[in-house]
Amino acid sequence: MKEFIEFIAKHLVDSPQNVEIEEKIAEEKKVILSLKVKPEDIGKVIGKQGKTAQAMRTLLTAVAAKEGKRAILEIVD
């Protein structure tokens, strides 16, 4: 899951080397992913009206469901 979101984020931003993802396991079947990018790239990750971020969250939910888990994506500024 972490690699999947990292792949998507690196292709959206201008500075892919600054993409950082931290994975925290909140409960047995719950994973929280925190995505950090440069301040000037945050708009590219969020998208207009949050549509890009919502699409990433939807894809992450589908990948997590295949593994029998629940995943949450946080975009840290």
Mean pLDDT, residues 24-37 taken together: 93
Q: Rounded to whole angstroms, how far apart are CA atoms 28 and 12?
A: 31
For the entire predicted model, the pTM comes to 0.88
Strand order through the sheet with 70-76: 20-27, 30-36, 70-76
Q: Which tens digit of pLDDT belongs to each residue from 46-59?
A: 999 999 999 999 99
> What's residue 7's pLDDT?
96
- Cα-based distances in Å from 53 to 12, 29, 37, 61: 11, 22, 13, 12
> What's residue 31's pLDDT?
95
CATH number 3.30.300.20 is the correct assignment for the domain at 2-76: yes
**Can you state the angle between helices 51-66 and 2-12, rounded to 10 degrees?**
160
Question: Would you mind telling me the total number of residues written for the chain in this entry?
Answer: 77
> What's residue 26's pLDDT?
85
In the chain, domain spans: 2-76
